Amino acid sequence: MAGVFGNCEALIKRCRAEEDALVEVTCVLRNRLLRSGLEDIQVPAQPTRCSLVKDPYDGSITLVGEWRRHRDKVIGTVLIHENGQVYAELDVLRPLPSDSSWFVDAVVAFGTPGNLRTELRLTTAMT
């Protein structure tokens, strides 16, 4: 994927257009963490960095946001495709509180605004 170069106005316009979707993504991720007993995991309110990326196959433009923390480390991403599809994931990296035989790698949201679904990405905990 190639970046859309030097068009700050387009980025600002797209970010404004997607504000509601970004808020919804944050809410559904936070709610999934709360329901899973992971209330101490913080979901950043807004992406730290955003860019527009052009798909080389179909030419569509995707808003790509990154959540960053501690020395600029990426802890999650959100993609909002031109067709409205959303995909977001945020690192969790903790044991599942309700079952320590599972480890939560990340919380994920996907779908379209108004119809976002969430799930935990799990792996078997090493014992």
Q: Write out the DSSP string of the chain.
A: -EE-TT-HHHHHHHHHHTHHHHHHHHHHHHHHHHHTT-TTS---SS-SEEEEEE-TTT--EEEEEEEEETTTEEEEEEEE-TTS-EEEEEEEEEE-TT-TTEEEEEEEEEEETTEEEEEEEEEEPP-
Per-residue pLDDT, 2: 47
Quick check: 6 pLDDT over 70?
no
Quick check: 102 pLDDT over 50?
yes
Q: Lowest-pLDDT range, 2-16, 24-38, 39-53, 74-88?
A: 2-16
- Condensed to tens digits (0 to 9), the pLDDT of residues 45-55 reads 899 999 999 99
Per-residue pLDDT, 126: 78
pTM: 0.89
Quick check: 1 pLDDT over 70?
no
- Condensed to tens digits (0 to 9), the pLDDT of residues 72-87 reads 899 999 999 999 999 9
Per-residue pLDDT, 71: 80
Give 90 or 72, the one with higher predicted confidence.
Answer: 90
